[in-house]
């Protein structure tokens, strides 16, 4: 089979777009992209960033918050101090701010990273019925998965997926 015969499936197609969108992010710690898809139509794109007109991470530096977080390694629970940038509005939240409710009803969200608890909570109330993500974010997986089940929202990770090479940016974490 020549490469010309390889047509991208829809999951790959929309996740590739989410990764392209993520390259717009100016946060050096995390580049997240999200797209809204109704049927096979692209109805919105968003990435994580500071509010418009406010200096972003590349201009003002990341706004670091430290918090302790429960990490389970081989059954051992441990409180680990983590640093996060809180300057940005998360991609999923920006997607909700810049799309209409009617466009979200019954729609899917493709997002490069597994949504955090707050974003998941908001997405669960936004009208969408499916969330597809690529990179795992284990911190909130347990409670997020549980809630999605309660809400009847399909929540799935894209396995065997390779992001477009040009969207891979070096991030410090
Ligand atoms: Zn930042
Ligand atoms: Zn989030």
66 is catalytic: no
pLDDT bracket for residue 7 (50, 70, 90): confident
Q: Of the bound ligands, which one is closest to the alpha carbon of residue 172?
A: 1
Query: What's the CA-to-centroid distance between 107 and ligand 2, angstroms?
Result: 19
For position 77, what pLDDT does the model report?
87
Catalytic residue among 92, 114, 130, 166: 92
- In this prediction, residues 141-158 reach a mean pLDDT of 97
The pLDDT value recorded for residue 6 is 72
Q: How far is the CA of 32 from the centre of ligand 2 (A)?
A: 9
Sign of CA dihedral 102, 106, 112, 117: positive
Ligand number nearest CA of 30 is 1
Q: What is the mean pLDDT of the chain?
A: 93
Query: What is the 3-state secondary structure of the chain?
Result: CCHHHCCCCHHHHHHHHHHHHHCCCCCCCCCCEEEEEECCEEEEEEECECCCCCCCHHHHCCCEEEEEEEEEECCEEEEEEEEEECCCECHHHHHHHCCCHHHHCCCEEEEEECCCHHHHHHHHCCCCCEEEEEECCHHHHHHHHHHHHHHCCEEEECCCCCCCHHHCCCCCC
2: pLDDT strictly greater than 80: no
Share of the chain above pLDDT 70, in %: 95
Which ligand is closest to the CA of 139, given by its number? 2
pLDDT tens digits along 57-76: 999 999 999 988 888 888 88
Q: How large is the average pLDDT for residues 31-42?
A: 97
The conformational region for residue 57 under phi > 0 = left, psi -120 to 50 = alpha, else beta, is alpha
Distance 160 CA to ligand 2 centre (A): 24
Residue 124 tokens, joined: 């669960």
Of the candidates 107, 101, 110, 89, the residue with the CA atom closest to the CA atom of residue 45? 110
The residue that leads in pLDDT, 166 or 45, is 45
Cα(142) to centroid(ligand 1), Å: 26
């Amino acid at each position: 089979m020549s490469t010309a015969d390889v047509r991208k499936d829809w999951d790959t197609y929309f996740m590739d777009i989410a990764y392209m969108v993520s390259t717009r992010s100016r946060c050096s710690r995390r580049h997240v992209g999200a797209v809204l898809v109704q049927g096979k139509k692209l109805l919105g794109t968003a990435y994580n960033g500071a509010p418009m007109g406010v200096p972003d991470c590349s201009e003002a530096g990341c706004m670091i918050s430290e918090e302790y977080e429960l990490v389970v390694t081989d059954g051992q629970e441990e409180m680990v101090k983590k640093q996060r940038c809180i300057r940005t509005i998360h991609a999923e939240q920006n997607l909700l701010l810049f799309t209409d409710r009617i466009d979200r009803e019954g729609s899917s969200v493709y997002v490069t990273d597994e949504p955090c608890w707050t974003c998941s909570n908001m997405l669960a109330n936004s009208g969408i019925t499916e969330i597809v993500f690529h990179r795992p974010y284990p911190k909130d997986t347990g409670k997020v998965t549980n809630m999605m089940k309660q809400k009847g929202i399909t929540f799935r990770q894209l396995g065997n997926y390779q992001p477009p090479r040009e969207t891979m940016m070096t991030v410090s974490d």
